[in-house]
Amino acid sequence: MFADEGYELALVGGPVRDLLLHRKSHDLDLCSSARPEQFEHILRAWGHDGFWDMGRKFGTLGAMRRRPDGTAVQVEVTTYRRDTYDPDSRKPEVDYGDSLEGDLSRRDFTVNAMALRVPDLEFVDPFGGASDLAKGVLRTPVDPRQSFDDDPLRMMRAIRFVAQLGFNIEPETAQAITEMTDRIRIVSAERVRDELVKTLLSSRPRAGIEALVDSGLADIVLPEIPALKLEIDEHHRHKDVFEHTMIVLDRAVALETGPDGPVPAPDLELRLAALMHDIGKPATRKFEDHGKVSFHHHDAVGAKLTRKRLRALHFDHHIVQDVSELVNIHLRFHGYVDEPWTDSAVRRYVRDAGPLYERLNRLTRADATTQNKRKAQMFSDAMDEMEQRVRDLKQREDIEAIRPELDGNEIMQLLGLEPGPQVGAAYRHMLEYRLDNGQVGHDAAVEELKRWAASAGK
């Protein structure tokens, strides 16, 4: 349809890369010599099942149509272009280009700078992207300093491709990133966050985070992580916290479940919690007698630092709350190994974890990285035992939504109270009683309320 009206059209970027990797692409990116106002009617005519123009100011329009088997094909067509940044601007300026080769030259890496002209199916690879793809190398089509100066986010994309594709960054490109890390400051927090999320949700998040730290970018976008590279004391009595964190991240990923399990892979909140769980350690490190090192309250300090960093990266409120809470309570289980809890303590653990219970248990298991096989087995056995106790309790009572057996209205009626602080105090006592004793029945709960009121002088 484009060719009939005299316009060039080519498949570009990720879909071409995926073709060479023998992967399917349901969303197709194309570029064209035509301007949006020239090809809009073509997309509207082709896209029986959808049309969108949110990217019009960037020269991009999209459309969708369904195949006879019901599967959808989405296409986005963009006018040949080039992006440049004003040195002080967070947003790219878009200029239209006039050739496919020129458009490819402004793309982030050679493996994304390949095209397939349609309808003739002519393969276009002016920068050796196919060779780099075969070698697993990330290299920019033009001088990397020019490329990263034009769009500094490309430095974060390089890290993401290390995690997603298992590629290595070509030495000159890696050196340019190290020299230009400060340039990332002009990119909006949202765009940095999105690249970080894609890195964490990839199949190799550890490789991505290690590359982020090695490049120096983490010093700016996630400084709490390189700060974990604490010097190991001369007696080697505590683990390198950064290396430990990378192991925990790997283990947490391995503990995610299939789509029907309680923590389907990939799980952003679990992975973020694994990454951030020990960031309170540098601020709380203390050298004790006999060469010992302590990190008292690093969980609470780490939760505050996590909340601050995720807010700075503009994560959604619920992610900020969930991840910081996981960091805050990630040590809760450790006392169980030495002295198994009472049923009331198990109830409190489940209540405090709330909807984070399954993630918390996986984070706790991932954090047990001791090389002592006997200790590791004891910890695993204790965790298994606690989880079985939770399952047994759930069969007898709804411990995930524990409430007193008397509600506020009943408390006021039985004690002759008006709404106020006294009702709240009575309710809290009955909740603690419920946690300690389980379900005792309405009559026993009434007797306990009366006993408490008498002893408290209510």
Check residue 93 and give its pLDDT: 62
Tell me the percentage of the chain whose pLDDT exceeds 90.
64
Question: For residue 242, is it within any domain?
Answer: no
pLDDT tens digits, one per residue of 183-226: 999 999 999 999 999 999 999 999 999 999 999 999 999 999 99
The distance from CA 218 to its chain's CA centroid, rounded to whole angstroms, is 15
Tell me the percentage of the chain whose pLDDT exceeds 70.
93
Contacts of 88 (CB under 8 A, 6+ apart): 186
Question: For residue 237, is it within any domain?
Answer: no
The C-alpha atoms of residue 231 and residue 383 are separated, in whole angstroms, by 32
Top-confidence residue, 27 or 248:
248
Residues spanned by the domain of 324: 253-401
Residue 347 shares a structural domain with residue 278? yes
Question: For residue 218, is it within any domain?
Answer: yes
Question: For residue 317, is it within any domain?
Answer: yes
Q: How many CB atoms lie within 10 A of CB 69?
A: 5
Question: For residue 247, is it within any domain?
Answer: no
Question: For residue 244, is it within any domain?
Answer: no
E strands, 43-131, where?
50-52, 60-66, 72-79, 81-85, 92-96, 115-118, 122-124
Cα dihedral across residues 368, 369, 375, 381: positive or negative: positive
For residue 72, is pLDDT > 50?
yes
CATH code (residue 167) = 1.10.110.30
Check residue 239 and give its pLDDT: 60
Banded pLDDT at 91 (limits 50, 70, 90): low
Domain boundary among 115, 135, 155: 135
Q: Are 273 and 329 in contact (CB under 8 A)?
A: no
Residue 85 shares a structural domain with residue 202? no
Residue 185 shares a structural domain with residue 57? no
Top-confidence residue, 346 or 306:
306
Check residue 23 and give its pLDDT: 87
Check residue 231 and give its pLDDT: 56
Residue 151 shares a structural domain with residue 267? no
Residue 287 shares a structural domain with residue 301? yes
pLDDT tens digits, one per residue of 249-302: 999 999 999 999 999 999 999 999 999 999 999 888 887 777 677 788 899 999
Residue 218 shares a structural domain with residue 172? yes
Contacts of 362 (CB under 8 A, 6+ apart): 252, 255, 256, 263, 270
Check residue 411 and give its pLDDT: 81
Question: For residue 432, is it within any domain?
Answer: yes
Residue 3 shares a structural domain with residue 90? yes
Write out the two tokens for 240.
Answer: 């390198």
For residue 439, is pLDDT > 90?
no
Residue 446 shares a structural domain with residue 323? no
pLDDT tens digits, one per residue of 362-421: 999 999 988 889 999 999 999 999 999 999 887 776 665 567 777 778 888 888 888 888
Check residue 130 and give its pLDDT: 97
For residue 84, is pLDDT > 70?
no
Query: How many structural domains compose the chain?
Result: 4
Check residue 236 and give its pLDDT: 47
For residue 15, is pLDDT > 50?
yes
pLDDT tens digits, one per residue of 106-156: 899 999 999 999 999 999 999 999 999 999 999 999 999 999 998 999 999
Q: Are 411 and 423 in contact (CB under 8 A)?
A: yes
Residue 387 shares a structural domain with residue 264? yes
Residue 270 shares a structural domain with residue 393? yes
Domain boundary among 354, 373, 401: 401
CATH code (residue 50) = 3.30.460.10
Residue 379 shares a structural domain with residue 443? no
The C-alpha atoms of residue 110 and residue 104 are separated, in whole angstroms, by 8
Contacts of 235 (CB under 8 A, 6+ apart): 291
Check residue 399 and give its pLDDT: 61
Residue 344 shares a structural domain with residue 257? yes
Question: For residue 429, is it within any domain?
Answer: yes
pLDDT tens digits, one per residue of 302-325: 999 999 999 999 999 999 999 999
Check residue 132 and give its pLDDT: 97
Write out the two tokens for 289.
Answer: 């007698």
Check residue 233 and give its pLDDT: 44
